[in-house]
A and B are shown apart, each in its own frame.
Chain A
Amino acid sequence: MNDGTGADQDMNMNAAAAAAIIAEADARARPVLRPDHRVTFLVWGAIWFLGDGLMWLAVRGQHPYHGPNPGGYAALVLLTVLVALASIAQSRAESGVRGLSVVRRWAFSLSALAGLGGAFLVEGALVHAGASRPVVGVFEAVAPLLVIGLLYLARFSAELDWAVAGLGLWLVLVAAVGAYAGPQNVWAVATLAVGPAFVLVAALEHRRQRA
């Protein structure tokens, strides 16, 4: 730990030393104070790919369709726990930071939770109203895409981030088109269309940061 002997010590440091301090301090602070969105999009891409892929494997070839088995749901719960743990690790890494970006992240997470919770309740209502298992199956595949897609579009309206707008629009489109593929193939459509879209946005973010 630097225990300087006076506030104005080393006033005569040279330009090269100052440049080195700037580079070192920036490299140390930036990863802690500014979470890398490229990593976030890549992680989410992997999560969507795995989640949708597992559900697809769980339901494909079912005749008649009866929905994912308990193993499929257990895998989804495991993924959700991993996401929660990753979020906690990220917020701990940034401990000490407070302000607008933290509020925004919490608002986004809580909105997603509210939206997904609402979709879950609607699914219960559909079952209660006598909807067939295939109809419920289509709904449970596309509802998360619609919720998260609309959240990204809402984020676009606040931040005018065009990559996020494209992602939100894409998720809504995949939900709408995928719904026509039926309760089994909708998972295949989501597996192939959603995860890679997140990876593409990570690549765009990478290009933007390097520009």
Chain B
Amino acid sequence: MSEAVIRPARVALVGNPNTGKTALFNALTGSRQKVANYAGVTVERKEGHVVTAAGRSLSILDLPGTYSLRARSPDEVVTRDAVLGRLAGEQAPDVVVAVADATNLRLVLRLILELKAVGRPMVLALNMYDIAQRQGLRIDLEGLQRDLGCPIVTTVATRKRGIDELTAQVDALIASGALATENVWHELSAGEIRAAHREAQRILKAYVRPPERPDTLTGKVDAVLLHPVAGLAILFGLLFLMFQAVFTWATPAQDAIDAGFQWLGAHAASELPDGLFRSFISDGVIAGVGSVLVFLPQILVLFFFIILLEDFGYMARAAFLMDRIMGGAGLHGRAFIPLLSSFACAIPGIMSTRVIDNKRDRLTTILVAPLMTCSARIPVYTLIIGAFIPNTKVNGLSLQGLVMFGLYAAGIVSALAVSFVLRKVFWRGAVEPFLMELPTYKTPSAENVLRNLLLRAQIFVSRAGRIIFPIMIVVWFLSTFPGPPAGASDPAINYSLAGRLGHLLEPLLSPIGFNWQMTVALIPGFAAREVAVAALGTVYSIGDADSHVGALATQLAKHWSLATGLSFLAWYIFAPQCASTLGVVKRETNSWRWPIIMFLYMTGLAYLASLLAYRGAVAMGWG
């Protein structure tokens, strides 16, 4: 007992992807879990706690899924190093729990053989045992246990079955004083992998009788979902549905958050004495936090779909269907999910590129993710389209809607083009192998979906908050200091550092049709794209521009030519007007090099696109 009081025993969950490992982690630890990062790498570290029936406290570590300890992606490196006890700041686990899908034992047996070589005491959890039983799959547990030399527990994580038995086994293993044996693991050669397969085959043959009623559902569903025509049609239908949901379901919540922060800002403004501190709290802190949190509903809706489809087993199919389409542009099939997320916000998109093994594939995806039209561009697009594009119909379709669609299409096409160029010019030749398991379809469990969703929300708020918040403060500082001189007639921002910077940049941006008001608005707009709307309102002295978009649009239509309006739209397709994205790229790549490259190439593209749009429009007589 006293030992248990000193420190909880460390238990690591290791297994192939799609074995219900995370469901098992959730079933074990319930809400007693926390997410952080491993020291020095951006891989999520999920740890939870559970107390066994005997009163022993266990700390459970959910390691990223892998097929072998021969790590290829940053995630898999963490799994290998955690198991081997090489990870900085982590000690080797006291017990390894190998998690296996009972219906698909072949590959996990090979992993188990590797884990045995590591020499840590081990328990095998045969998860999804109910499905195995339903299929009439017979496993000689006694024999398998003897052969592998480790205790076996059958579990159904989604129904919380076998959880107590599992913790009891872990407890018993620790209580019996089972010690780690010598670590004889080394990276397997091709010949050794073949030998391990033969060994796994022998074990399977000896202790597992093939299912009497094998799963036929997956094959039937795949016949439709992987069909070259129907499958793609369904995928695009699903994407359409997701976007509809992202923009319709999230709107009420976004409006509520927006209203809440405006109320808070106004309240703070009326409570605090006039002055710098008030401006800092109201315009800097509250407005800054609000402008980030307002995207949370959209991100949650998007992740709800992604988690649901992932748990169902569809995401691997989506990657299969999209692989060649994206592969033509030099992107990996797995880049599909990060790029999809980027339509809500590039930040979660860039964070989710970790599923891509190869460094170059991952960098390509990170570099093009901000070109996808994120929802922060929508307020800007809406404003400019409302001001400059007539509300008429072309062949029965709204012209304004068509322009909006065109802006989205331009984002997608340019992302594909940029990755194509990266692949052809900079990273010639090297195309990573594309090997992917297509898991059997499973009914997602509501509890797991909700738990994962909460986790995503927590990660977005804490990480994004940590990066975005300081940037917001810097931008507030730039647009506030120095204050206007006494008796100044122009808007205060005009006298600030941001204003001066804007004036300084004006000659540079006048060839693309930007006036000084626009260049000044670009500086605070660097905090987040939609802030440009409020900033334009400030420089044109429209007071509260957010709630008077109509008034601002009228002003813009009066002061800007159509050519300038189009140029501004073109600018916003490409320009890296989002310091937070650059901050996240720095974090994910662990170097300033990539955010700088991203900034330069996106600004270059934006300038070029605006120049073409402006000069073209002027030539058409719209100047």
| A and B part of one assembly | no
Interface residues of A (CB under 8 A from B): none
Interface residues of B (CB under 8 A from A): none
